[in-house]
Amino acid sequence: MANESRYVSLAEVKELLRDEAEERELSYEQSLALSHAENFVKLDKEETDELIEKLLEDFDFMKEKLAYKMADILPTDEDGVLAVFSKDRYTPSQDEAESITNLIKKYVEG
């Protein structure tokens, strides 16, 4: 069986670890990861998946790993969006960063 890798949002990590905790006692590291996820996740997995999909659909320059990072961090201003892109070759324009921010705000603010 080949190793399959994929990006996982923090919301999905939270859901997976909660399910696992119902089955057995989590390791120390898993407990820390669950605690971190519970403290920082603001959207449920379905909303997070929807946001990631929308980011990838609406912005042709958006890479999958950056969409996941956006959904985990949920930057609410243009500087936050630009910080996520800081190590990427592409830097969004101010208008693009504002559009991303507006989309994220729709999810964060309901």
* CA 100 centroid distance within chain: 13
pTM of the complete model: 0.89
Beta strands per DSSP E along the chain: none
Specify the CATH superfamily of domain 45-108.
HRDC domain (1.10.150.80)
- Angstrom CA distances, 1 to 4, 6, 47, stand at 9, 16, 32
**How do residues 89-105 score in pLDDT, each as one tens digit?**
999 999 999 999 999 99
Among 68, 78, 81, 58, which Cα is nearest to 5's? 68
Is the model's pLDDT at 2 over the cut of 70? Answer: no
Domain spans of the chain?
Answer: 10-40, 45-108
